């Protein structure tokens, strides 16, 4: 059992999630490498120290460069704002250290391109934090689709919808300014990643991106509230994507339906322990979508619980992610989804934004 010193940059929402995951991933998955919470970095010393105590790190800093350079920090988790991703990642790769970077990968397509270049030049492990796709249910969905269990896919519909800005009177904040913090920057990458994982590459898109509430108490809104995309996958299937932060009533609407010539699949993260499967076989009178509860028969479930239907949760996705990152560190090789996979997502985002501007279909190959 080898210890690996983990440095996490950012101690908020995702920083905490990664710290917790690193604390328990070893016991859950009996990993070869065991993470040690070596150092946490936050924008100010006081908050860094607070995170250190709360999450159990050995040391704290407000200087990310110090963290990256520290010899005891053997792998870096970037959970700071998008604008900081590139510089940190490049420094970490330069220092030969594996990086797990939160989504979206960088604040623009140019940045993610540069980050991929840096990652691939370094040759060390690199991964992007698309956590939702790692549930046992969605992993099982990937297997079913890949194995042709529902035939040739003719239709994909995906959405990532939440309602934290549904109230027009919710005040402006950092979230309501900067493209990377809008719906296309913040929510869309998750579902685009899911679409690519489940369906393969997208060939072209036609999108509409919109700021519905142009001002809010406290200021103007400069990024998008919701967006929709018609798309064509390279496998020929037609698709539709919808992203929203104003989807009243939706709390974790990461949901998709996949229609094939032999069956269909439905999933909604709000009931993340169920996958709905329809098979066009058997007697007509007995056909119907079946609600499959995840259990030991599904990917990555059993380490959390031996009983089916007992359920995994949000934090468990991050633990699965941590397991994969540890594997990447151990082998020195990238593990899906890599920076390149994160960049592929950004290409779809960029094409959608361009499409929305001039109202024409955009080939992803141009981005």
Which residues 278-337 are close enough to bind a second copy by CB under 8 A? Answer: 278-280, 283-293, 295, 297-298, 304-316
Nearest to 201 by CA among 335, 365, 63: 365
Residues 58-97 that bind a second copy (CB under 8 A): none
Tokens of 309: 């239907």
Q: Which is nearer to a second copy, 172 or 252 (CB)?
A: 252
Residue from 2, 27, 63, 110 in contact with a second copy (CB under 8 A): 27
Using CA atoms, how far apart are residues 119 and 98, in angstroms rounded to an integer?
9
Asked if 363 touches a second copy (CB under 8 A), the answer is no
**For a second copy, what does the binding mask look like between residues 189 and 208, x meaning CB under 8 A?**
-----------------x-x
> What are the beta bridge partners of residue 257?
157, 266
Phi, psi of 285 (to 5 degrees): -65, -15
Residues 106-145 that bind a second copy (CB under 8 A): 140
Q: Which is nearer to a second copy, 304 or 339 (CB)?
A: 304
Q: Which is nearer to a second copy, 72 or 214 (CB)?
A: 214
Asked if 228 touches a second copy (CB under 8 A), the answer is yes
Asked if 269 touches a second copy (CB under 8 A), the answer is yes
Closest approach, Cβ 280 to a second copy, in A, equals 6
Nearest to 246 by CA among 330, 295, 186: 186
Using CA atoms, how far apart are residues 9 and 88, in angstroms rounded to an integer?
9
237 within 8 A of 203, measured Cβ to Cβ: no
Closest approach, Cβ 110 to a second copy, in A, equals 28
3-class SS of residue 63: coil
187 within 8 A of 223, measured Cβ to Cβ: no
User: Can you give the three-state secondary structure of 135-178, one letter per residue?
Assistant: CHHHHHHHHHHHCCCCCCEEEEEEEEECCCCCCCCCCCCHHHCC
Q: If binding means CB under 8 A, how many residues of this protein chain bind a second copy?
A: 93
Residue from 77, 247, 351, 364 in contact with a second copy (CB under 8 A): 247
C-alpha 312, offset from chain centre: 17
Closest approach, Cβ 27 to a second copy, in A, equals 4
Asked if 361 touches a second copy (CB under 8 A), the answer is yes
Residue from 120, 155, 201, 330 in contact with a second copy (CB under 8 A): 155
């Amino acid at each position: 059992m080898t210890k690996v010193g983990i440095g996490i940059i950012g101690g908020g929402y995702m920083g905490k999630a990664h710290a917790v995951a690193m604390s328990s991933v070893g016991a859950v998955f009996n990993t070869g490498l065991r993470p040690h919470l070596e150092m946490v970095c936050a924008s100010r010393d006081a908050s860094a120290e607070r995170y250190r105590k709360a999450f159990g790190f050995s040391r704290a800093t407000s200087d990310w460069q110090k963290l990256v350079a520290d010899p005891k920090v053997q792998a870096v988790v970037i959970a700071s704002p998008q604008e900081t991703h590139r510089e940190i990642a490049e420094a970490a790769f330069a220092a030969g250290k594996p990086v797990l970077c939160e989504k979206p990968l960088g604040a623009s397509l140019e940045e993610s391109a540069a980050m991929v270049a840096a990652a691939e030049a370094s040759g060390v492990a690199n991964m992007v934090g698309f956590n939702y796709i790692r549930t046992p249910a969605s992993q099982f969905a990937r297997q079913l689709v890949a194995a042709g269990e529902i035939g040739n896919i003719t239709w994909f519909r995906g959405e990532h919808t939440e309602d934290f800005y549904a109230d027009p009177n919710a005040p402006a904040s950092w979230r309501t300014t900067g493209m990377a913090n809008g719906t296309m920057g913040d929510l869309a990458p998750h579902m685009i990643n899911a679409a690519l994982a489940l369906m393969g590459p997208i060939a072209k898109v036609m999108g509409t991106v919109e700021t519905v509430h142009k001002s809010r108490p406290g200021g103007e809104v400069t990024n998008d509230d919701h967006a929709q995309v018609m798309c064509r996958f390279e496998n020929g299937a037609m698709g539709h994507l919808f992203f929203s932060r104003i989807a009243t009533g939706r709390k974790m609407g990461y949901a998709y339906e996949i229609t094939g010539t032999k069956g269909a699949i439905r999933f909604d993260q709000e009931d993340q322990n169920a996958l709905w499967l329809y098979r066009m076989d058997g007697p007509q009178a007995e056909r119907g979508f079946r609600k499959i509860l995840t259990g030991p028969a599904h990917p990555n479930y059993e380490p959390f619980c031996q009983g089916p239907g007992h359920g995994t949760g949000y934090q468990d996705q991050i633990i699965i992610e941590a397991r994969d990152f540890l594997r990447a560190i151990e082998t020195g090789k990238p593990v899906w989804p890599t920076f390149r996979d994160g960049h592929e997502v950004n290409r779809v985002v960029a094409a959608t934004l361009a499409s929305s501007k001039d109202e024409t279909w955009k080939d992803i190959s141009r981005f």
